[in-house]
Structure 1
Amino acid sequence: MKTRLPSLPTVLTAAALTLALAAACVLALSGPATAQAPAASAGPKPALTVKQVLAQSSTWPQTLSATGSIAAWQEVIIGAEIGGQRLAELKVDVGDRVKKGQLLARLSPGTLETDLAASKAALLEAEASAREARQTAERVKTLQGSDALSPQAIDQALAADAAAQARVAAARARVQADQLRLAYTQITAPDDGVVNARLATPGALVQPGQELFRLQRQGRLEWRAEVPGPELARLKAGQLVRLAPSGAPAVEGRVRRVSPQIDTQTRNGLVYVDLKAGEALRAGLFARGDFVLGESPALTLPQTAVLLRDGFSYVFRIDGSKVRQTKVQVGRREADRVEIRSGLSAGAAVVESGVGFLADGDTVQVQK
């Protein structure tokens, strides 16, 4: 029996297939290792470029914050002293600054001038009668002890003199009263100040005690701060107050008086603060203020370095190329800086800004 050998083309084809399979196996084994090598050598890329800032120790004023309204130091109600007269003329309006004794309004005198003239005439008549009675009394006194006049006639002459002098006094009082009533037609300012309100109307019939103007005495304003009762003991007259009125520039003031009692509803007490005069200040403005109690050391950072998250405050400490989220407790604020009461030590390096884009453990590049 003869054995048949494979032909040469068949042998070559089988060899080519074997080589192709071997090459595919080599590529399959070496490909992943080759692809992973560059990725492993590249390393993680920084997430964000940041600038660092150091926590600084400084001395800050110790303050107590409060809110309240600005009001007139004293407000005087100016009214009519007499009634039944018409308002003839108004000299001032709301917002005018006036001096003590300045004429604000004038009432029509009506019959007051005539009444005064009649009273003066009556006084002259009473004085003439009194002079005559006095002369008679003097003559009678020289005849006392003689039989020229009876004791009864002498007593009558002396009594007539006394009555005449009393009538003079009464007539003089009527003249003074009529002069005062006539003076009341001139309504003047009781003190320097600013006219806050004008309720008078020209031509109106004025009644006694009717309010015509309201005067802010001396143009002075005060801040009436509402302070919690337990904090009142920390305040005293003369302390500096820094005030930030709503819609007006910041001003300074001094504590004038601390209320001796506390409101039973709010449990707050009033503190009266004298303010420096300013064109932008108005009675009725709401204001926030800080009572300066003294000074104390403070560890501070820029406010941009503090992140408020889930009701807590955090900073991001720089640890090499990583950042670590650190919980802190904040306190006072001054301009663009905030006090760090706990959670951080002086000189600690933290991220200055852009903290809202960071997470704990992020890789960063610190800007030099």
Structure 2
Amino acid sequence: MAKSIQPNRPEDLTALKAAYAQAQAAVAQEEANLVRAKANLQEAAENARRYRWLVAQGAVSAQEADARETQSKVAAADVRNMEERVKASRFSAEQSQQRLSMGLTGGRSEDIAIAKAQKLEIEATIKQLQSQIDQTVIKAPCDGIVMKRHVHLGEIALNNKTMFEIVRDGRLELKAQVPEKDLLYVKEGQPVEMTGDSGKIFKGCVREISPLVEQETRLGTVRIDIDSCPDLKPGNFLRGEILIGKENVATLPTSCVTYKGNRPLVYQVEESQGGSRARMLYVQLGARDGAFVQVLNGLKAGDMVVERGGGFLKDGDPVRVLTGNAQSQP
């Protein structure tokens, strides 16, 4: 395209000038040939006319007159041929002149436009080929360690097929299954404590909460980033507790709770004139934490309840309070 816009080099201009001069010389030569052919035609035509008169006078034979007529026709054909050659040489000279003008001043606007269009087309082709080359190279979105390989040399790659699994930047995550009712309390960024079979505690935080709950299990997936720890390997099993916050709540030892018709209940110790008696109360329970369970409704802080043996009591049974260890028994 630069050659179409800018003038040619001096050596190119010299060649263009020589070609133009040669074309002009060829025009002059062809024009001279045309003049000679026209003279020959005039002479042949005059001879043919004279021989026709001589035939009429009986001075020459008709065969000789026909020969002169043929020469006249051949001369006419030569003239037409020379005229076409003159036109062709003039056209060639005009083209040489145009090339010389373009070499001196640069390309025409339409030639420049065509060159620019060709340049854009070539650049688009290069980009297309580069894109096809890039698609033959598999690049991971980040640094990491390849843990699994699902494809092998010679296989056909599919868009929806996983090729490799990597540990991104050496990081590990826990993919935890959380009950649907507990997902409401889980938030991104909450701290998590995890323990393995060895009993060692690992720290982490909630990174992502799946928006989908499995219909069969009613469990949602929570992804937890684990702080760097060389003791953990991909595939290890961990149990985790998401720390959603701290709150003062009423709790009971789980040994205080018995069930009747799948309903939890406790026996509250009431003082009366006749002594202490056990009064049956249905309670509403909440979260469990080891040996303790949260009481949502049915009791208030400071109420005395039977800790052990509640399964053998009936409502109103007398009990004896053991003040030494703050326990009650039937």
Relative to its length, the structure with more helix (as a share) is 2
TM-score normalized by structure 2? 0.45
Relative to its length, the structure with more strand (as a share) is 1
TM-score normalized by structure 1? 0.41
